[in-house]
């Protein structure tokens, strides 16, 4: 495409995005399409001849938009948020336009050095001490995978340079709570530990890992000749934002020589507000840490922040050093290809830079505090209303609740009833909730944190829940 056409279509697309964002609140938050609806709008064969991109925004309106679930919608209360602030959209545009590769320092020094600077800004914003060094990964799944690979190689004295996991005589074991995100299990399995060597430790009535059970499991594994390797502390679990006992886990990590990884994918963003840092008291004992600015902070997916206390170890796990990747600056600079799984790297640091320059730390703090207050508002409504139960502590921006009609005690009935409420709310188009099962009980999980969501939207959701409970 020539630059003249790009200018014309680029302006058109920028305007289309602005209009989309302006009217997003009027669109149904969850796509109402049925499977196959998008596919049938596209030809089954690739275009032989180029048609140009005139009509681009028409295609987006016709083929794409009906099939979009609007993650930046004010009525998005599903999963965890995935905010894509418009400052970050500009950064993605700049990144694509530059088309630079950040695999080595020399392949675009700015990509590496801006990342170094903004990841250190982020470290400071979070109140982390200078022992931590940050690098951008794509997702928390990948970051946690990197952490378990680092733990594996640390416990095995770099077994990968010899016989790998296949030569380990005493199995290495990974520990997390039964509320840990599925990515922990996935990472442990992909890293070769095997499900038999993953311990999902029971949780207390706040849904936090029980230290006594963790220590007992460690001792049992040691007694059986297995080797405790890594533990993952969830600071803000996915279901309820439960907070594992990080200080106690840090002590066990030190006592038994076990790698401590902290999964604060969602909650980490809140740590830019000092009053939230009680949640990860003891964080200085962690060996590695992940949080996702692409969730609540607004940098746009994907930008997962991985912090490590031992970058040299990470590099040793991840690096290969073929001649075709050597540059004159090796040894003086960071080559970020050696800090993760992929070789190539986009210039994602621009997203964090643009966002921070635009809003400043104080701007981000104000939005986080708004969301925390909105969650407390909803919690108060649930507690005050008859027939509603709060299902977990409200530590962060997620409120777990359910409706219990008078006289109904059977869990299957309650499950069906609450799923019916959720279905009715979702069908209304203004709000989107996703289901969660908490220790066998069906809950309604309200995750607040879309940048567009104001108190009035939370009020609207609460009214919709009350109406749905009365109607089903």
Considering only residues 414 to 443 of the shown chain, the ones binding a second copy according to CB under 8 A are 434-437
- Is residue 357 near a second copy by the rule CB under 8 A? yes
Site for a second copy in 142-171 (CB under 8 A): 142, 145, 149, 152, 159-168, 171
Instruction: Please identify, using beta-carbon distances, which residue of 419 and 455 lies nearer to a second copy.
Output: 419
Q: Does 299 bind a second copy (CB under 8 A)?
A: no
Task: Note whether 72 binds a second copy by CB under 8 A.
Answer: yes
Residue ranges in 177-236 that form contacts with a second copy under rule CB under 8 A: 181-183, 185-186, 189-197
Q: Which is nearer to a second copy, 181 or 207 (CB)?
A: 181
Query: Which stretch in 255-263, 338-346, 370-378, 380-388 sits in contact with a second copy by CB under 8 A?
Result: 338-346
Region 266-295 residues binding a second copy, contact defined as CB under 8 A: 294
Scanning residues 43 to 62, which ones bind a second copy (CB under 8 A)?
44-53, 56, 59-60
125 binds a second copy (CB under 8 A): yes
- The residues, ordered by sequence, that sit 6+ positions from 273 with a Cβ below 8 Å of its Cβ are 365, 368, 369, 372
Interacting residue with a second copy among 140, 258, 305, 372 (CB under 8 A): 140
CA atoms within 13 A on the CB side of 40: 5
- Least distance from a second copy to the Cβ atom of residue 160, Å: 4
Q: How many CA atoms within 13 Å lie on the side-chain side of 285?
A: 21
Least distance to a second copy, CB of residue 33, Å: 5
The verdict on 66 binding a second copy (CB under 8 A) reads: yes
State the nearest-atom distance from the C-beta of 177 to a second copy, in Å: 13
Residue 412 binds to a second copy (criterion: CB under 8 A): no
Take residue 307 and report the two structure tokens written for it: 């912090």
Round to whole Å and give the CA distance between 298 and 382: 28
Residues 248-267, interacting with a second copy (CB under 8 A): none
Which candidate, 30, 22, 40, 18, places its Cα nearest to that of 68? 30
| 162/281 with CB nearer a second copy | 162
Site residues for a second copy, 230-249, by CB under 8 A, read: 238-239
DSSP calls for 115-181: HHHHHHHHHHHTT--TT-EEEEES-HHHHHHHHHHHHHHHHTTSGGGTTGGGG-SSPEEEEEETTS-
Paired with 133 in beta bridges are 308
Q: Closest approach of Cβ 79 to a second copy, in Å?
A: 7
Residue 172 near a second copy by CB under 8 A? yes
Task: Establish whether the linkage from the previous residue to 302 is cis, with ω within 30° of 0.
Answer: yes
Binding of a second copy at residue 463 (CB under 8 A)? no
Strand partners, 261: 232, 288
E strand or H helix at 422: helix 411-428
State yes or no: residue 359 binds a second copy (CB under 8 A). yes
Query: Hey, which residues between 17 and 36 contact a second copy (CB under 8 A)?
Result: 17-22, 30-31, 33, 35-36
Angle between helices 455-471 and 411-428 (to 10 degrees): 130
Q: In what order do the strands lie in the sheet containing 388-390?
A: 388-390, 398-403, 441-447, 434-438
Please report the beta strands in 180-296, taking only residues with DSSP state E, as ranges in sequence order.
Answer: 198-201, 227-234, 259-263, 288-291
């Amino acid at each position: 495409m020539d630059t003249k056409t790009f200018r014309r279509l680029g302006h058109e697309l920028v305007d289309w995005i602005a209009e989309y964002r302006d009217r997003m609140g009027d669109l149904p938050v969850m796509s109402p399409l049925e499977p196959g609806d998008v596919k049938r709008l596209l030809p089954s064969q690739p275009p032989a001849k180029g048609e140009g991109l005139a009509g681009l925004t028409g295609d987006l309106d016709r083929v794409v938009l009906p099939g979009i679930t609007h993650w930046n919608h004010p009525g998005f209360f599903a999963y965890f948020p995935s905010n894509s602030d418009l400052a970050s959209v500009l950064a993605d545009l700049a990144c694509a336009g530059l088309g630079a590769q950040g695999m080595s320092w020399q392949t675009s020094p700015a990509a590496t050095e801006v990342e170094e600077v903004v990841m250190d800004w982020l470290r400071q914003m979070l109140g982390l001490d200078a022992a931590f060094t940050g690098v951008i990964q794509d997702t928390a799944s990948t970051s946690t995978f990197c952490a378990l690979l680092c733990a594996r190689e640390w416990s095995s004295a770099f077994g990968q340079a010899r016989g790998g996991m296949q030569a380990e005589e005493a199995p290495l074991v990974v520990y997390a709570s039964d509320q840990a995100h599925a990515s922990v299990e996935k990472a442990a399995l992909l890293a070769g530990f095997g499900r038999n060597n993953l311990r999902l430790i029971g949780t207390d009535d706040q849904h936090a890992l029980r230290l006594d059970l963790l220590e007992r499991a460690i001792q049992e594994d040691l007694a059986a000749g297995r080797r405790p390797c890594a533990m993952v502390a969830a600071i803000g679990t996915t279901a309820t934002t439960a907070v594992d006992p990080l200080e106690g886990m840090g002590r066990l990590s030190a006592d038994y020589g076990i790698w401590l990884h902290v999964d604060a994918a969602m909650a980490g963003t809140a740590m830019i507000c000092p009053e939230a840092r009680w949640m990860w008291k003891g964080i200085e004992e962690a060996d590695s840490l992940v949080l996702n600015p692409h969730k609540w902070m607004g940098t746009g997916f994907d930008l997962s922040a991985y912090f490590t206390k031992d970058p040299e170890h990470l590099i040793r796990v991840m690096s290969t050093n073929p001649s075709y990747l050597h540059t004159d600056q090796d040894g003086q600079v960071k080559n970020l290809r050696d800090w993760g799984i992929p070789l190539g790297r986009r210039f994602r640091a621009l997203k964090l830079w643009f966002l921070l320059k635009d809003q400043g730390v104080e701007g981000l703090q104000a939005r986080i505090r708004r969301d925390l207050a909105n969650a407390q508002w909803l919690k108060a409504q649930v507690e005050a209303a008859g027939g509603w139960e709060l299902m977990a502590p409200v530590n962060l921006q997620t409120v777990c609740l359910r409706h219990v009609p008078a006289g109904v005690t059977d869990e299957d009935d309650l499950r069906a009833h609450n799923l019916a409420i959720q279905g009715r709310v979702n069908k209304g188009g203004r709000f989107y909730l996703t289901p969660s099962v908490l220790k066998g009980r069906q809950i309604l999980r309200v995750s607040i944190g879309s940048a567009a969501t104001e108190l009035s939207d939370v009020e609207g959701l609460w009214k919709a829940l009350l109406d749905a409970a009365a109607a089903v």
